[in-house]
Amino acid sequence: MSEHVSRSISRRAALASMGAGATGLAMLDDAVVAEKDPAAQVVDRGSNLKITDVRMFYVAGKLYVRIQTNGNITGWGETFGLNARVAMALVAAMAEGLKGENPTRIEHLWQRLYRGPRDSRGGPYMTNVISAVDMALWDIAGKAWGVPVYRLLGGPTRDRIRLYPSATSYKVGPGGPRQFAATPQMVQGYVDHVAEFRRRLGPDAAIMLDAHCAMPPAFLIQLANAIEPYDVLWIEEPAVPGNIEVFKRLKDAIKVPLATGERDRTIWEFIPYLHEGCIDILQPDVGACGGISQMKKIATLAEAYHVPLAPHNASTVLGMTASFHAIASIPFFLIHEGGRGYNPGNVARVSWTIDKQGYASLPQGPGLGVEIDQQAVEKMHAKMPKNGGWPNPRHGHDGAIADY
């Protein structure tokens, strides 16, 4: 071997040795940096998750959705107001499009479920069921990363959530569908009711009147003008959704703030109220509006118009907690329906408490922060009625079908 070749090989060996040493030093430096920088140790725990099963359960008139994954993480969501057997058939169909998908692609899956069937998108069955699925997906995502859902939504904007009814808040109900015009006696009955709660709770309390879409416009205008002196926080559901012109007419005639939204779904149904300026407070229900994902978007739209949210709640504590996560992350919020929460059969254990003033603490723990007793849910599901009746709302004075 020539001296030139020998020197060349020696140089290559030396360089290789130096490279190996440099690599080792770099690896050591990386390890030191990772130890000092928690962000360098972050692992995408959601990247390998896959949905393995989707199922709906009947829970004392409410509907729970359970989503299971290959990572032994289970998510739960809730909806309501649907024929259970029809909703379950829809969930079974949706499951075929969800199995094998990554559950942390929440927005992607929401869009697929909603936009996929082009001729049947929207409406209560489609959107209410998606609402429950959406909650369950957020529950899984929070559990995968070990944080409450509101951390994934931008973090909390408040420390607690005001609820009604409470010691400082009360809502007066409509007492059933009303006729097209009010009599003086009817008006006075409502006025006396509102006045009594104002006297009982004091000047700092929040008192609301729920028209429940059961008071036709002429009736409501008569009543609203009579209760105005008692500083009612809002009149809820002043009209049946669907005709924005009715809401505009009521807004022109009534000085009491108007609130609505419990029967409206997605940003596309809420935006006319904002655009026309005919509603002062929006009341989306997380179990009907499209889930946590849509409630967050609705809140952003409302913020642009300086309109706060006062969420409706017709769910058990499972859906109520999901709503808390959305509300914890938004700036424009007024008050939340729910009182102490409904928990049939104690199937759910929540991670929040309510103080004497009627404020709920923020949910704690990963995901929604709700522990579900699955065996109890399955027992209640086994008691699901075989047949559901069809409502028959009527006016007592003449037997006509009542709108509400």
Contact 191, 225 (CB under 8 A): no
Q: Does 312 participate in catalysis according to the annotation?
A: yes
> Among 180, 173, 164, 268, which residue's Cα sits nearest to residue 217?
180
**C-alpha span between 395 and 192 (Å, rounded):** 23
What token pair was written down for 211?
A: 């028209």
| Closest by Cα among 190, 245, 188 to 214 | 190
Q: Would residue 193 show up in a list of annotated catalytic residues for this protein?
A: no
Rounded Cα gap, residues 171 and 337, in angstroms:
10
DSSP 214-247: -S-HHHHHHHHHHHGGG--SEEE--S-TT-HHHH
Structure tokens at 261: 């939204």
The SS3 of residue 354 is strand
Asked if residue 158 lies in contact with residue 334, where contact means CB atoms within 8 angstroms, the answer is: no
Residue pair 80/312 in contact by the 8 Å Cβ criterion = no
Strand bridging mode 359-361 / 160-164: antiparallel
Q: Of 4, 212, 306, 325, which is the active-site residue?
A: 212
Q: Do the Cβ atoms of 59 and 377 come closer than 8 Å?
A: yes
* Structure-block tokens of residue 118: 């082009």
**Which residue, chain included where needed, has tokens 């770099």?**
26
User: Using CA atoms, how far apart are residues 384 and 392, in angstroms rounded to an integer?
Assistant: 22
Catalytic residue among 312, 325, 336, 381, which? 312
Cα–Cα dist 30/25, whole Å: 9
Burial of 144 (0-12, 13-18, 19+ CB in 10 A): buried
Q: What is the dihedral of CA 355, 359, 361, 362, to 10 degrees?
A: 170
- Report helix, strand or coil for 208: strand
- For tokens 């400082």, the residue is 168
Active site residues: 212, 312
